[in-house]
Amino acid sequence: KNETGGRMDESGLRERESRYRLGGDGWWDRVFSAGVDFQLVAREEQFYELARMWLLGSWIADRLSLKFTLASLTLPDKEVERLEQFRRHLSEVESRGFSHLTWRDVLSDYQQVSIDSLEGPARLLKDLQLGYTGAGKLVRAGL
């Protein structure tokens, strides 16, 4: 079972390690800090999924000459220390970064926006917040 941190059994990790370490002309060594070990990040610290998304997203952005930010979206006060632990393994530069956001962070960006001007996922987020109090409690529907 892959959890937020991305657990994977040992044989699966060994099978993927060379592809991740050597793929993309050694992309791992460009986007992770010097000496960061795949087994440490993926297996011991259980950051397989985050590492995979960091590799893939940064590689695609580099090929398209775009800036890339991997955002980990969690509930408030969840996994703060673990995500900082993951961040210490990364080679962040101006065009490539990591961010930890909460749902409240995302929703606060839409607080002052007119709901009529929103489309797609942004409108869904605005609609979702209408059913909650400022403290994050569900508002009982008035029927």
Can you tell me the distance from the alpha carbon of 42 to that of 26, in angstroms, rounded to the nearest whole number? 17
pLDDT digits (tens, 9 = 90+) for 39-84: 899 888 999 999 999 999 999 999 999 999 999 988 877 788 999 9
Residue 135: pLDDT over 70: no
CB 100 within 8 A of CB 64: no
Mean pLDDT of 86-109: 89
What's the confidence (pLDDT) of residue 57? Answer: 96
Mean pLDDT value across the chain: 79
CB 50 within 8 A of CB 5: yes
Long-range contacts formed by 55-61: CB under 8 A, 24+ apart: 55/20, 55/23, 55/24, 55/27, 55/28, 55/31, 58/27, 58/31, 58/96, 59/24, 59/27, 59/31, 61/95, 61/96
10 dihedral zone (left: phi>0; alpha: psi -120 to 50; beta):
alpha
- Token duo for residue 53: 């998304």
**Orientation angle between helical segments 48-63 and 10-31, nearest 10 degrees:** 40
CB 39 within 8 A of CB 13: yes
Can you tell me the distance from the alpha carbon of 110 to that of 125, in angstroms, rounded to the nearest whole number? 8
What's the confidence (pLDDT) of residue 106? Answer: 76
Residue that the structure tokens 């995979």 belong to? 52
Can you tell me the distance from the alpha carbon of 28 to that of 42, in angstroms, rounded to the nearest whole number? 13
